[in-house]
Amino acid sequence: MDIRSGMKNKRPTLQDVADLVGVTKMTVSRYLRNPDQVSPPLQIKIAEALEDLGYIPNRAPDILSKSKSHAIGVLVPSLTNQVFAEVIRGIESILEPAGYQTMLAHYGYSKEAEEARIAALLSYNVDGLIISESYHTERVRKMLSVAGIPVIEIMDSISPPIEQAIGIDNQAAAYAMTECMIQKGHQKIVYFAARMDQRTLQRIRGYKAAIHDSGLQEMCLSTDSASSFTLGEQFMKEALAKQPDTDGIFCTNDDLAIGALYACQKAGINVPKDIGIAGFHGHNIARVMVPLLATVITPREEMGRLAAEHLLSRLQGNPVTQRIINLPFQIEMGESI
Amino acid sequence: MDIRSGMKNKRPTLQDVADLVGVTKMTVSRYLRNPDQVSPPLQIKIAEALEDLGYIPNRAPDILSKSKSHAIGVLVPSLTNQVFAEVIRGIESILEPAGYQTMLAHYGYSKEAEEARIAALLSYNVDGLIISESYHTERVRKMLSVAGIPVIEIMDSISPPIEQAIGIDNQAAAYAMTECMIQKGHQKIVYFAARMDQRTLQRIRGYKAAIHDSGLQEMCLSTDSASSFTLGEQFMKEALAKQPDTDGIFCTNDDLAIGALYACQKAGINVPKDIGIAGFHGHNIARVMVPLLATVITPREEMGRLAAEHLLSRLQGNPVTQRIINLPFQIEMGESI
DNA sequence: TATGGTAATGTTACTCGTAACAATTTATGG
DNA sequence: CCATAAATTGTTACGAGTAACATTACCATA
């Protein structure tokens, strides 16, 4: 049926369409950009040929000649973490309507992998990058500077940003929540930490500062592995074993907190009367569970949106207006502290 | 400092590196593919120049000339849904080590948007596609056939697959869970459905079949909008208002089920004694909560991995071995039914 | 030293869409 | 009916890397 059935059928090019109509590919190209540039009879013929062959535009030549891919690289440490899924959602909600394609990559919290992933994204000539965290190797900084494309860093803003960073002040947030717990009367507050990345380290710093400012005693349970509900349960048991009079748990994320909460329920420990529990990130579930989880509500989707908006602005030639943007967090008291 | 500081500094090309060394770009190209193809002294000089300029390979010419992008398009209906985040994770876990870049797109359950997104992915010359659902418009089917790249459909396999579909049998899963609930003694089981996509419709079919096979009465609460914990709470209230003797709730996903569960807890309804509640998808939280949620455990990450593996196999030239792959699901009884 | 062979490097052409310029056709006005 | 403007279509070149072919350099042997 198909004339080209013998050959390895590559998808049709503008030339194929042009041949079918009997014009040059330039004419077809013009039709595609602005149909009124070609004569009415040709408009019809070209439209038919395009439909007939199922022509799909090809960005490759454009990327090659103009180095404009209309693709944005998005690099996150992990896809596992719901937090990043929400950030990505925010990013896409802005980029997609603006006609940009998202190239997603993740690096599993490894700086080595981060380098490789950034190089990979750059090799596709992405027009801009949204990357996570603010600490990067010299090599990464060089690559990004050489690439000459706008870069937005999200999630935190600990190191001076390459160009622009949009995040939240994890330390201040953790300090604020710890203070709340203390005010609620909790004295022996243990911090549960997993996945010791920059953000968690900042939160620990905030927690410790608040504990010390109140003259209390700090205690951290931590692991490098990923957090999970079950890890929260394990930590809870561990905390009670090490310090039986523990009366507060502040977790580096809601997963741990929810795990800890259920561990208490299973052990017949009343939350918040016996032990207060607070999380971090304000997952939806925290707003419905019984008891309502105290948590730090972070604007993750908003962060993604903002990052994408600023990137688009940069792509339109606007300069960086604000190097560091710290988005507001919100302490949700819930019923668990 | 930088010689090119005046110009809009494009990133260095092979030519720039070659100029610095004093050879042609072909020699540098050879070094990059196999260093031993160039003489030892040049190897050193080229390596230095590459490092010095911070050369980053450029895939664009390759994509243009060989139509091989080493990028795979992944299309999901939504990024909001945790389920798809896990599928994507599975996909990336295979594609990334294989040297493929993921181009992510989502279409918000709109068939129109799906067409546009697929066209966009194809315009980047993706080497393969992983798309969600098995029902597609004629236009989509034509685009995919013309593109001549391997396509894997995931999530369900209701319509005959374009080439290969990897999913689970939603209808059978819903039937099985409904049967379990009936066996546990629940008689007036209401189905909660949101986001009426193909998978949910299949599940409803399975639920209804099981209900009818047992001579019971069906009842569905549904909405086209997205599901959420709070929607589960709302549905719960609605169900009790409409049918006060409701003694079972089967939800199209865990979010609704968890919302319903908490609504019961808040209303002093005992689960599972007064009302049994079952969900779908086996989110991690279902395995720790009190009571443990009855749910259908679906192998989401495994599905992603498998899809990616089959796609890679196809890219290596292997034929489709099995048009439809239905992955096993697992009924987790939990404590809530 | 000439010759053959190999290793190392260079040259040309190609991919596809489009900018820039050129050529042709059609339209307008006197 | 011709000159000029305007509309339409064609031609050439470009982008960055690489396959395929061409050339040069170098070494060993007769």
pLDDT digits (tens, 9 = 90+) for A317-333: 899 999 999 999 999 99
Q: What is the CA radius of gyration of chain A?
A: 26
CA-to-CA distance for B2 and B8, rounded, in angstroms?
Answer: 12
Instruction: Measure B55 CA to D28 C1' (Å).
Output: 40
The pLDDT of residue B5:
34
A160 shares a domain with A32: yes
Q: What is the pLDDT of residue A2?
A: 35
pLDDT for B9: 64
Tell me the CA–C1' distance in angstroms for A162 and C2. 64
Residue B8 lies inside a defined structural domain of this protein: no
* Position A334 in a domain: no
Q: Are B154 and B310 in contact, with CB atoms under 8 Å apart?
A: no
CA distance to partner chain A, nearest, from residue B220 (Å) = 23
Q: Are residues A282 and A323 in the same domain?
A: no
Query: For position A5, what pLDDT does the model report?
Result: 34
Of B134, B205, B211, which Cα lies nearest the Cα of B172? Answer: B205
A236 and A262 co-located in one domain: yes
pLDDT score of A85? 87
Rounded-to-integer distance, Cα B149 and Cα B145, Å: 8
φ, ψ of residue A267 to 5 degrees: the values are -90, 5
Closest CA–CA distance from residue A246 to any residue of chain B (Å): 22
Rounded CA-CA distance B37/B31 in Å is 6
B306 and B201 within one domain? no
> In percent, how much of chain A has pLDDT > 70?
97
Q: At A296, which helix (H) or strand (E)? A: strand A295-297
Per-residue confidence (pLDDT) for residue A285, from 0 to 100: 83
Structure tokens at A84: 């990043």
Does position A204 have pLDDT exceeding 70, yes or no? Answer: yes
Contacts of B15 (CB under 8 A, 6+ apart): B25
Question: Residue A289, SS3?
Answer: coil
Q: How far apart are the first and last CA of chain B?
A: 72
Answer whether residue A1 is part of any domain: no
pLDDT attached to residue B66? 85
**What's A149's DSSP letter?**
-
Structure tokens at A309: 């908006």
* Dist CA A168 CA A154 (whole Å): 9
Residue A58 CA to nucleotide C20 C1', Å? 21
Q: Residue A236 domain-assigned?
A: yes
B57 reaches A (C-beta below 8 A) = yes
Stated as kind and residue range, the H or E segment containing B153 is strand B151-155
Tokens of B247: 């003694």
Give the three-class secondary structure for A189.
strand
Residue B141: what pLDDT?
92
Those nucleotides of strand D lying less than 7 Å from any protein Cβ are 7-12, 14-20
Are B41 and B105 in a shared domain? yes
Burial status of residue A196 (CB atoms within 10 A of its CB: 0-12, 13-18, 19 or more): middle
Pair B40, B141 in one domain:
yes
Residue B154 CA to residue B304 CA, distance in Å, equals 8
> What is the spatial distance between Cα A188 and Cα A248, in angstroms, rounded to a whole number?
6
Phi, psi of B160 (to 5 degrees): -60, 130
Q: How far is CA A15 from the centre of its chain?
A: 41
Query: Would you say B336 and B293 are in contact if contact means Cβ atoms under 8 Å apart?
Result: yes
Residue of A nearest to B64 (CA): A60
- Show the domain range for A186: 170-299
Q: Is the peptide bond before B272 cis (omega within 30 degrees of 0)?
A: yes
Q: Is residue B334 part of a domain?
A: no
- The CA distance from A312 to A70, in Å, is 11
CB B89 within 8 A of CB A108: no
Give the 3-state secondary structure of A117-132: HHHHHHHCCCCEEEEE
Residue B82, chain A, CB below 8 Å: the answer is yes
Which residues have CB under 7 A from strand D? A 23-24, 26-27, 30, 36-39, 42, 61, 64-65, 67; B 10, 13-15, 25-26, 29, 32-33, 57-58, 60-62, 64-65
Same domain, A191 and A142: no
**Closest C-alpha to B116, from B139, B84, B132, B85:** B139
Query: Does A316 lie in the same domain as A289?
Result: no
Coil vs helix vs strand at A281: strand
Q: Which residues contact residue A195 at a Cβ distance below 8 angstroms, ignoring those fewer than 6 apart?
A: A109, A224, A225, A226, A227, A252
At residue A9, the pLDDT reads: 64
Low-confidence ranges of chain B (pLDDT < 50): 1-8
Nearest residue in B to A254, CA atom: B285
pLDDT digits (tens, 9 = 90+) for B34-73: 999 999 999 999 999 999 999 999 999 999 998 889 999 9
Instruction: Give the torsion through C-alpha atoms of B223, B228, B230, B233, to 10 deg.
Output: 60
Distance, in angstroms, between B11 CA and closest chain A CA?
Answer: 5
Using alpha carbons, list the distances in angstroms from residue B67 to B64, B100, B125, B128. 5, 14, 6, 12
Taking residue A276's Cβ as centre, other Cβ atoms within 10 Å add up to 24
Per this entry, what is the length of chain B?
337
pLDDT digits (tens, 9 = 90+) for A86-139: 999 999 999 999 999 999 898 988 999 999 999 999 999 999 999 998 889 999
| Number of domain units in chain A | 2
Given this model, what pLDDT does residue A11 score?
Answer: 87
- In this structure, is residue A246 part of a structural domain? yes
Taking CB atoms and an 8 Å cutoff, what residues of chain A touch B103? 71, 101-104
Domain co-membership, A62 together with A144: yes
Q: Which nucleotide is nearest to A57 (CA to C1')?
A: C17
Locus of tokens 């394990």: A234
Q: Which of B64, B79, B266 sits opposite A60 (nearest CB)?
A: B64
Q: What is the CA radius of gyration of chain B?
A: 26
Both B72 and B192 in a single domain? no
Q: So what's the pLDDT on residue A4?
A: 34
Query: B137 at the A interface (CB within 8 A)?
Result: no
Distance from chain centroid for Cα A16: 41
- Residue A1 has what pLDDT? 32
Q: Which residues pair with A295 in a beta bridge?
A: A332
**What is the Cα–Cα distance from B302 to A224, expressed in whole angstroms?**
25
Task: Work out the number of other CB atoms within 10 angstroms of the CB of residue A171.
Answer: 21
Cβ neighbours of residue B258 closer than 8 Å, sequence gap 6 or more:
A285, A288, A289, B229, B232, B279, B285, B286, B289, B293
Whether residues A31 and A155 share a domain: the answer is: yes
Place of tokens 């909405």: B223
Look-up of token digits 């009302």: B275
Question: Which domain CATH number covers A77?
Answer: 3.40.50.2300
CB contact under 8 A, B289 and A262: yes
What's the confidence (pLDDT) of residue B11? 87
Residue in chain B lying closest to A142 (CA): B54
| Proportion of chain A above pLDDT 90, given as a percent | 83
Task: Give me the residue label for tokens 């947030």.
Answer: A173
Q: Is the pTM of this model over 0.75?
A: yes
- Residue A2 falls within a domain, yes or no? no
Whole-number Å distance between alpha carbons of B139 and B142: 5
Distance A39 CA to D6 C1' (A): 14
Position B2 in a domain = no
Same domain, A79 and A184: no
Residues in chain A: 337
Tokens of B256: 């609704």
Asked if residue A285 lies in contact with residue B233, where contact means CB atoms within 8 angstroms, the answer is no
Q: How far is CA A316 from CA A125, A128, A233, B85, B130, in A?
A: 17, 11, 49, 31, 32
